[in-house]
Structure 1
């Protein structure tokens, strides 16, 4: 099936079978590899992208359900005020260990901060709960979200 996608501000026409996850269109067809495959069942968050500004798991978001939606990936998060603050906080606090899950962590953190600009540590933990980190850097991720909130407040 032919579908038109608005991804990172640009329109792309792609061919994909119905039932194809957005993740594979992003990675295989459009060659944007910042969005990662983690589990394939929407449990780990590595594949998180924004769909109309909301974080979604792209491994379980099907191509036929997203026509005319605005999709944003990690590749352009530095151009977003909240995304840039999260990335700055990640660098300041050396959040990343192996880095595999970090694009999904950042996309979720941006979603949280857009929804709640001044979250508590508990609110960060609750919101980020579905994002798995194999290196268990959860404390640093929490601190990074809280630091990004401070950066945005300044």
Structure 2
């Protein structure tokens, strides 16, 4: 069965006919030629497909496209303002927060989403004390980013990049 949906991807609204069983990741990559979110595990466990979906980080390999008709999606490609990189993107470059780069788009989107969660006072498993003043310690960052895996092991540099922007 097919359905017509509309998605706003990195500021551009697009209409697409999708199979009702298709994931948002497959629609973006295979039908709309948006290669930035990566297919890693296809089970929602690695975070390579993380984007900002209606302002919140989401692994889209498990999200049915038809369930997100009208959604706004920001990929790592949609974060820059012209030639000016988003602060997280710049910090990843400055701190060498990537090696092969495969997980980087998902790591960057997840980092932005988790920093928004911290600003909103959302606690994590390691949060102690009042949530209005969450200390962005390495343990806090590691816990909040634990859904994004890096096969190259660039974790110390990723944490340093997030810590810098989170100050």
Q: CA deviation at 1:137?
A: 1.1
The answer to whether residue 141 in structure 2 is matched with residue 139 in structure 1 is no
**4+ residue segments displaced more than 4 Å:** none
Please name the residue that 1:21 is paired with: 23
Larger Rg: 2
Structure 1 CA distance for aligned equivalents of residues 60 and 89 of structure 2: 21
Verify the 8 A CA contact 1:32 1:75 in the aligned structure 2: no
Verify the 8 A CA contact 2:48 2:102 in the aligned structure 1: yes
Structure 2 CA distance for aligned equivalents of residues 4 and 62 of structure 1: 13
Q: CA deviation at 1:149?
A: 1.9
- The unaligned stretches of length 5 or more in structure 2 are 120-134
Residues 105-124 of structure 1 aligned to structure 2 (within 5 Å) = 105-117=107-119, 119-124=136-141
TM-score, normalised via structure 2 length: 0.84
TM-score, normalised via structure 1 length: 0.90
- The unaligned stretches of length 5 or more in structure 1 are none
Please name the residue that 1:97 is paired with: 99
The answer to whether residue 76 in structure 2 is matched with residue 59 in structure 1 is no
Please name the residue that 1:129 is paired with: 146
Q: Which structure features the higher share of helix residues?
A: 1
Structure 2 CA distance for aligned equivalents of residues 76 and 14 of structure 1: 19
